[in-house]
Amino acid sequence: MKLELRGITKRFGALVANDHIDLVVEPGEIHCLLGENGAGKSTLMNVLYGLYQADEGQILLDDVVQGFTGPGDAMNAGIGMVHQHFMLIPVFTVAENVMLGNESTKPGGLLDLEAARAKVVEISARFGFDIDPDALIEDLPVGVQQRVEIIKALSRNANVLVFDEPTAVLTPQETDELMAIMRQLRDEGTSIVFITHKLREVREVADRITVIRLGKVVGEASPTATNAELASLMVGRAVDLTVDKDPAAPGDDALVVRDLTVTDHNGQLLVDGVSFTLRRGEILAIAGVQGNGQTELTEAIMGLQHRVHGSIALDGEELIGRSTRGVLDAGVGFVPEDRTEDGLVGEMTIAENLMLDRSTGEPFVKRGTLQLADLARFAAEKVREFDVRAQGITTRVGRLSGGNQQKVVLARELSRELRLFIAAQPTRGLDVGSIEFVHKRIVETRDAGVPVIVVSTELDEVVALADRIAVMYRGRIVGIVPGDTPRSVLGLMMAGETPAEVAA
């Protein structure tokens, strides 16, 4: 089916998320929609899928104008979507999820589960999936959940399939498998819209590329374009994709973690016997697919986990058993992975957020009273130093863009005397400019002789920053390898395998 978007415009208040966007997707092609986070890709697709109503413009399928008022209309017209955050109900089975909203029933509204199971099995067989229709979604790994999403869309006879950032949660191997599935779908005549900001994937699978920047189509590109060409089109200026850094000059051992084990309240092991040593002036990147214990590892160091065994020694001092306050006082800086949830208080001002971890005493609190003048001076200085774009230090943090929010977090954490710096997913959801800034500050921190841990699920980031790389899989460290280890090897390690060259 041919999909055409004509002059789609969507405004949220004063913000124009989509500005007269035109897009044509021919049957049997994979059309990539490339753009930075916040460029308006997802908004456009939500308009297409009927979740948002466009303020202007038309959606045409096979040259017929459509008037979608909800996702139901879009689905009936043959549009399917694999969402970035899976739209599956965790406590339902695969079959129930696939049939939901499109149930085949026997008389009396009785669900025909047999038909749904048969459909799951039939579509699975077509793509060589091995999926139990009666498995609960919450028990399935994310890669399999994504396949359920695909089955769900196909079971409604989707002729246009939209993939919204589908690779964010996948290992490199799972990503390759997904690409193969997309090619197979294309060859069967399905039109595919593939939304992403990852250049490598675009070049690998796209038949055509449309680049969106700040809500506007800024051009088309050919899949043969280089990474640098695509990136400059996406960002609007020449981009240096590599991080400038000198070789590390590691000093003494600073952080020594031995047999660290973290369990949840059910006794499930989240971190399983992890040991590593981190030296001063080096960056250790912790790579791995989301949910393999990285979060819990950093939280254990910060004193945020309760069931922790083993040893975490910073410059010879044991950190386990200390309160989070105690860990901070020991000189640990921490950028949590979810800045809006754990890193900042959205309703408070930039200045207030900058003193959040120093609310117990000098310099900002004297005799139980806030030293507002000192705080204002400090905040103004940090806002300048970290290039936080805001109206002033009294702006509420919740109103800032993701990049500026992250700069506030960095400013707070890096403005103390540090003996260890931990950054979890430091650039998640940021624009390229902010990513460059954050990476630069992390390398500077290293060069100042601070030991740094960077947790990232983005292989690009890991490779760009790391002096050494520890790969985590199911709570264990699969191996610790040098920073220049090839991606293919890292990919295998992220799936839990230990390649020969690592074992050797």
Partner 1 sequence: MTAAPATTASAATTPGGASPIVVRSWKAPIAFAIFTVIAILLFFIVGRPDLDGGNPTTIYRLSEARDAIQLPPLTLGLAETTIVVVILMVAATIGAFLLARAAVRVPLWLTTIFAVLFLVGFLTWAAAGATVPMIGLLAGALTVSTPLIFGSLGGVISERVGVVNIAIEGQLLGGAFMAAMLGTLTGSPYVGLLGAMVAGALVSFVLAAFAIKYFVDQVIVGVVLNVLVLGLTSFLYSTVMVPNAETFNSPEKFERIAIPLLSEIPVLGPILFRQTVIVYLMYLAIFLVWFGLFKTRWGLRLRSVGEHPTAADTVGINVRATRFWNVLLAGAIVGGGGAFFTLAAVGSFGKDMTNGAGFIALAAVIFGRWDPIRATLAALLFGFATNLQSTLSIVGSPVPSEFMLMLPYVVTIVAVAGFVGVSRPPAASGKPYMKA
Consecutive H or E run containing 74: helix 71-76
Which residues have a Cβ under 8 Å from the Cβ of 420 and sit 6 or more positions away?
Answer: 254, 255, 278, 301, 314, 331, 332, 333, 450, 451, 452, 453
From 115, 269, 320, 356, residue interacting with partner 1 (rule: CB under 8 A): 269
71 binds partner 1 (CB under 8 A): yes
From 14, 109, 361, 368, residue interacting with partner 1 (rule: CB under 8 A): 109
Shortest CB 174 distance to partner 1, Å: 7
Residues in 178-217 that interact with partner 1 by CB under 8 A? 180
Between 200 and 307, whose beta carbon lies closer to partner 1?
Answer: 307
From 99, 284, 464, 489, residue interacting with partner 1 (rule: CB under 8 A): 99
Q: Return the closest-CA partner of residue 433 out of 283, 213, 210, 282.
A: 213
Q: How far apart are CA 273 and CA 276, in angstroms?
A: 10
Between 173 and 371, whose beta carbon lies closer to partner 1?
Answer: 173
How many Å from the N-terminal Cα to the C-terminal Cα in the chain?
52
Q: Write the Ramachandran bin of 219: left for phi over 0, alpha for psi from -120 to 50, otherwise beta.
A: left
164 binds partner 1 (CB under 8 A): no
Interface with partner 1 by CB under 8 A: which range of 174-182, 222-230, 321-329, 375-383? 174-182
From 45, 131, 161, 462, residue interacting with partner 1 (rule: CB under 8 A): 131
Q: How far apart are CA 295 and CA 272, in angstroms?
A: 13
Tokens coding 110: 């009785």
The alpha carbon of 483 is separated from its chain's Cα centroid by a whole number of angstroms, namely 21
Q: How far apart are CA 42 and CA 245, in angstroms?
A: 34
Residues in 335-394 that interact with partner 1 by CB under 8 A? none
Binding-site size, partner 1 (CB under 8 A): 64
Amino acid at 1: M
From 59, 61, 79, 140, residue interacting with partner 1 (rule: CB under 8 A): 140
From 270, 438, 453, 462, residue interacting with partner 1 (rule: CB under 8 A): 270
Three-state SS for 289-319 is: CCCCCHHHHHHHHCCCCCCEEEEEEECCEEC
Between 57 and 236, whose beta carbon lies closer to partner 1?
Answer: 57
Q: How far apart are CA 47 and CA 471, in angstroms?
A: 39
From 7, 12, 251, 398, residue interacting with partner 1 (rule: CB under 8 A): 12
Interface with partner 1 by CB under 8 A: which range of 101-109, 210-218, 220-228, 362-370? 101-109
Half-sphere exposure of 319 (CA within 13 A, CB side): 30
Shortest CB 75 distance to partner 1, Å: 6
Tell me, residue by residue from 273 to 312, as one string, x for binding to partner 1 by CB under 8 A and - for no binding. ------------------xxx-------------------
From 75, 274, 300, 314, residue interacting with partner 1 (rule: CB under 8 A): 75
Which residues have a Cβ under 8 Å from the Cβ of 97 and sit 6 or more positions away?
Answer: 88, 89, 137, 148, 152
Residues in 40-69 that interact with partner 1 by CB under 8 A? 49, 51-52
Q: Which residues bind partner 1 (CB under 8 A)?
A: 12, 49, 51-52, 70-73, 75-76, 81, 83, 86-92, 96, 99-103, 105, 108-111, 128-132, 135, 138-141, 143-144, 147, 152, 173-174, 177, 180, 263-264, 266-270, 272, 291-293, 473-476, 495
